[in-house]
Amino acid sequence: MKTILDKILNDAQKETDCASDLKGLNEVRIKFLGKNGEFTAVMKNLKDIKAEERPLFGKLINDAKVILEGHIAFKEKELSVKELEEKLLSETVDITLPGKRVEYGSLHPISIVINEITDIFTGLGFDVTDGPEIETDKFNFEMLNIPKDHPARDMQDTFYITDDIVLRTQTSSMQIRTMLKQKPPIRIINPGKVYRSDFDSSHSPMFHQIEGLAVDKHITLCDLLGLLGEFAKKLFSKETKTRFRPSYFPFTEPSVEVDVTCSECKGKGCPLCKGTGWMEILGAGIVNPRVLENCGIDSGEYSALAFGMGIERIAITRFGISDMRIVFENDKRFLRNYR
């Protein structure tokens, strides 16, 4: 019995020493100490031994088991350290590799210009409103003194959803919506998208406008001149001069086109301003009394100034963009220039 036991312990220790990983070591443990292991088998044989010798052999078996357990525990520690080292080695982080670049978003050049213009007018006491892009023919045209078949409609050919519903061609529809629900004094600007069936290097079927409206007692063309002159100085530079040219809009009387000195050449003449020294930036005027009356405002008591500008035109002037279509292609290489 003693020799058998010595042999088992000897074999078990040898196999323990040979285990190359924790998994292999566990197999050795099961083989010798497990429920069906070799020591358990020897234990079962105790019943064949004389009763008085049993305690002695029982002790010998237990001692051998304790020795083996110690041996395995020692090996286990050694293998754990080895495996951990191997793992750390194989998982090393190469801190010299370039990091992943995080791309920051930025505002679209059109949004930048809208924000700047909005800041200027809110600083001058104007509120910002918002209205629908799908508009009735009535608010987009008729109430603005542009009846059906009026020739002025030709300049704003648009997308009709039905005979009476259009994609708005101008933010001027917001003058009507505001005056119908708000009593004077009124000071609003309305930035938003407008649509016209145009498409070439200087026209996109969708573009942006900002409409402005001020209704109060005694508003005159002088107020319009002062307001827009101040606006141009704030948007471009202190040296910017403004000039009014007579024009025609059905909803204003008198009507003007407003030019500013070219931001590129400061009025000397350059390719951007086609040699004139001036750039047209907006249309404006004193609101036609008929439009006020359409909205239930007494034109004997109140007068109003209004203006509307194309944001893209201002952005193009500001940033020197040559083809307007590129503004909406959302090519990141282009947009990155305007951070």
Q: Which residues bind ligand DAH (CB under 6 A)?
A: 170, 172, 211, 249, 252, 283-285, 306-308
Q: Which is nearer to ligand DAH, 184 or 308 (CB)?
A: 308
Question: In angstroms, rounded to a whole number, what is the distance separating the alpha carbons of residues 39 and 292?
Answer: 107
Least Cβ distance, residue 209 to ligand DAH (angstroms): 6
DSSP state of 283: E
Q: Which is nearer to ligand DAH, 172 or 263 (CB)?
A: 172
Least Cβ distance, residue 320 to ligand DAH (angstroms): 23
Q: Which is nearer to ligand DAH, 236 or 249 (CB)?
A: 249
Non-local (6+) Cβ contacts of 97 within 8 A are none
Non-local (6+) Cβ contacts of 52 within 8 A are none
Q: Which is nearer to ligand DAH, 39 or 307 (CB)?
A: 307
Least Cβ distance, residue 199 to ligand DAH (angstroms): 17
| Residue nearest to ligand DAH according to CB distances in the complex | 308
Least Cβ distance, residue 133 to ligand DAH (angstroms): 14
Q: Which is nearer to ligand DAH, 41 or 155 (CB)?
A: 155
Instruction: Note the helical H segments in 98-153.
Output: 109-123, 137-140
Give the pairing of strands 186-195 and 127-128.
parallel
Q: Which is nearer to ligand DAH, 281 or 306 (CB)?
A: 306
Q: Of 252, 316, 251, 254, give the one whose Cα is nearest residue 281.
A: 316
Helix axes 54-90, 22-33, angle to 10 degrees: 170
Non-local (6+) Cβ contacts of 275 within 8 A are 269
Least Cβ distance, residue 336 to ligand DAH (angstroms): 31
Least Cβ distance, residue 205 to ligand DAH (angstroms): 14
Least Cβ distance, residue 213 to ligand DAH (angstroms): 7
CA distances to 96, 235, 248, 312, 314 from 112, rounded to whole Å, are 38, 12, 30, 11, 11
Question: In angstroms, rounded to a whole number, what is the distance separating the alpha carbons of residues 131 and 47?
Answer: 99
Q: Which is nearer to ligand DAH, 137 or 211 (CB)?
A: 211
Give the pairing of strands 252-261 and 303-310.
unpaired
